[in-house]
Amino acid sequence: MLPDPPDFLAELRTKTLFRHPDVLGCIRRNRLDPSTPWRWARGNSLLLLIGETAPLQTPFGGFDVFYRGTEDGLWLLQFRGGQRQPWWDEDALLLAALVLTYSSLNPVGVSTISELDGQLYIHYLGSPDAEEAFHLAEAAMERWKRGERIAKDSPRGKAICPYCPVRNPCLLLDLEAGETHDWPLQPDLRLRQTLLERHK
């Protein structure tokens, strides 16, 4: 008879899932579903092999950052999967700005490690200067106060929104607020009724 098995999944969650900054990516999505996707565990596991984590506290909540100290300075670390996208640099720049603004860490840049078709790649981006970091963090704070979402007709929105786990609640919020101007297709009455029925 087998003994009670250990909860390996709980251990994996404890060791590999970290807090994500609400202002990175789509703020509305992060608020509607604050859970950390399991698919992030793979990238986090790799980052833990070459770096360590530090907790950060900001006016819009706390999050964890990965970093690695070198002879040339401290590098923030990120992991991404799939084809390289133009908004990866925007996210990396904002991450560096948040770290510079709300912590004592002084990163020289962000190293984004990515995986595509079984191959690993790395891209380096320098940190913004102090003034630019302040303005980026301040703008992120304003977006957070408004609960802003990414534009659905932007390259990022077209790539992410159709597969978003909170797509329907987000669409419903758009309908209620009359914010459908950036929808790739304008809502018809059937879609409106379907969404309203699902979220009564």
Task: Return the percent helix, strand and coil in the chain, to nearest 5.
Answer: 45, 20, 35
Residues 98-153: tens digit of each pLDDT: 999 999 999 999 999 999 999 999 999 999 999 999 999 999 999 999 989 999 99
Domain positions in the chain are: 9-148, 151-200
pTM for this prediction: 0.86
Residues 2-17: tens digit of each pLDDT: 788 888 888 888 888 8
Q: Apex CA 42: angle with CA 41 and CA 45, to 5°?
A: 80
